[in-house]
Structure 1
């Protein structure tokens, strides 16, 4: 059996495993509330808040979609022409063209240029966020956060690139198998280290002061059967007025994290309602599900890359001889960019199903649909959400049910109980 046939067979098995995880772990039965209930929910929201949220998202769209188009064009120009390969060669030339210099410095150069060509759109989005009063950052603070993001991405990307091309160098015939395992392991490692090493780069986390709210949140987690290590407050107010909370980490690193903006904007009952939603993700092991999906997806991506490497016209267009050489970094970029765009709607669909289950769980845990509805209304208002976006846009980019879907669901739950 040839390596191509074997790799294709393993890819088929991984895709079956991925489908099995999704079928067993995702609540496919959940469905949005009837449209009539959503319309009623929309009409109950403050008209000025709805108008402002829609205007805000309308102002963001040129920057958002402009960045997507430019990023795709950049990837195509570098990856489907010899320009990308020549750039990698040029960057590695001062180091004698060594493969390690090409892999690390060439990859970072391509990513950096890609970030620079989309930087005007990021600045545009930030200007809109500032104009609408959602951002509390100065331009200097925004730039510092941007540079931090670049640095974190460079470290993770550098590790991935050096690891990938080390494997292709050491295992020229079996790199597809070793690389698939390595990609899956990397995804699992990131799940554990992200809360401990990456989150503190962007926010300061302090234990919530002893008091009734902290006691209530820990009791809520205990009643839900979700062990948490601590309740932390993130200093989100230094960059935004948006409100949020989440349960971060897994096992010994799991903690409830509450934005300080949430504590300032909503009642304690609404904070408990938000946290009840987030506890669902821990109780249902959504982090584990996401890790499995990411690991299987990353392994499958490596195998797809290997199989695409057999397509000679593609290699010729990119000006490379082998997809496993560092000069093919730009080709890997365009494959990853297109793959990400195609996978995005499916990922959003799965996410909306999971979030819908968390909404129901929060209602069952608190038994307080009125507070849940008021909390959703406040979140939509403070975060400048479009409570009822265009269905096509929601299907393509939405990660959560819309605000009117969630309010209508809470009302339906109240009627049923």
Structure 2
């Protein structure tokens, strides 16, 4: 067992590692199952046959194949990952991180599907309308549309999606609310309100974030955080989140995401224009709705390849937000206490294996964040 000195007891370190070892294989297994399904359907004639069969059930028209194929791919992808996510949930329940029953979890899955399916159907319908308009140049307007969609979803998410999964109530007037608003004012950040999310209906994990843009911006704290952490620790969590606002991380991420989506569409047009892939999928061209599984498979591969670079960028952004919290509060001791609190309450592996961290971690480990705070203090 490594010696983490005064920060974490051997029992806390062992518990975090045990949870990581128990849940990571299932989490990665779910990703692998979804990717394998996409590859099998996309790079063999099986996917084209599936789209044709589903379309035939609804009359066999081009529109039936487009919408039926998109729906069945979404549903199959959900079904492939569901046993793995259920297993991860069972593991986290064993460690006291889940408070929601299976019925509530199933309702959340259905809510997510109800949001995903219409969006996927609309996007795929628009895409194949463009391929019918121009089998060679469809990607030009599609790239622009993908970029606009990313921007629109980023703005609409806090207004339309967050309320589907959580209830938000204004924080009661008091010293903590006053301190959080004063923190934002000192940071020259306009905040409309401080809200409390009823996260305890699902989890015991601790978190807070700043959501929205401009007039819709609000500080959101989990009720689990407010009920567990010291007020100063809550302030430090919020100071970190204000760092994302101060450095325009959400806006920058949205714009980069829009550019990435446009670039991905361009790459998809290049990949799906290769005869070897079209032949493997058993379709004559991308304008044929039966090419939908091939498009989905190529998108899945691009997404998997983009994962590690995105995680690396995220870790750098989180490190900068940590530094902002230290500079805003001037309280490294409180910051270290907050990191300990979060790591223990969330049963984190405080020092995961480096390859795992490089490939999949969106935040630096607790040990690295605490070390950075001590270095900042010196």
Normalising by structure 1, report the TM-score. 0.88
Q: Which residue of 1 aligns with 2:285?
A: 322
Equivalent in the alignment of 1:103: 66
Aligned residue for 2:117?
A: 154
**Contact 1:41–1:408 at 8 Å: present in 2 too?**
no
Aligned to 1:405: 368
Aligned counterparts, 1:285-300, within 5 A: 285-300=248-263
SS of the residue 2:146 aligns to: helix
Q: CA RMSD in A?
A: 1.3
Partner of 1:28: none
**Whole-angstrom distance in 1 between the partners of 2:7 and 2:157:** 40
Name the stretch that deviates more: 95-104 or 296-305: 95-104
- Aligned match for 1:312, one of 259, 275, 280: 275
Contact 1:208 1:231 in 2 (8 A): yes
Q: CA deviation at 1:195?
A: 0.4
Structure number with greater CO (CA < 8 Å, separation at least 6) is 1
- Contact 2:271 / 2:298 at 8 angstroms: preserved in 1? no
Distance 1:230 1:167 in 2: 43
Structure 1: how far apart are the matches of 2:352 and 2:293?
35
Q: How does 1:211-230 map to 2 (within 5 A)?
A: 211-230=174-193
Number of paired residues? Answer: 377
What is the rounded CA distance, in whole Å, between the counterparts of 1:250 and 1:224 in structure 2? 16
Match of 2:33 in 1: 70
CA distance, structure 2, for counterparts of residue 306 and residue 42 of structure 1: 54
Task: Report SS of the residue matched to 2:118.
Answer: helix
CA 1:221/1:41 → structure 2, altered by over 3 Å: closer, same or farther? Answer: farther
CA contact (8 A) 1:270 1:372 kept: yes
Secondary structure in structure 1 of the residue aligned to 2:219: strand
2:358 — aligned with what?
395
Q: Structure 2 residue aligned with 1:184, among 115, 126, 147?
A: 147
Structure 1 residues 370 and 40: CA distance shift in structure 2, 3 A: farther
Q: Bigger CA drift: 232-241 or 163-172?
A: 163-172
Q: Paired residue for 2:330, among 350, 353, 367?
A: 367
Q: What's the CA shift string for 1:52-80, capped at 9, x where partnerless?
A: 11101110022112112211211111111
Per-residue deviation, 1:159:
2.1
In structure 2, runs of 5+ residues without a counterpart are none
Unpaired runs of at least 5, structure 1: 1-38
C-alpha separation between the residues in 1 aligned to 2:38 and 2:70? 12
The answer on 1:84 being equivalent to 2:74 is no
In structure 2, distance between residues paired with 1:335 and 1:248: 32
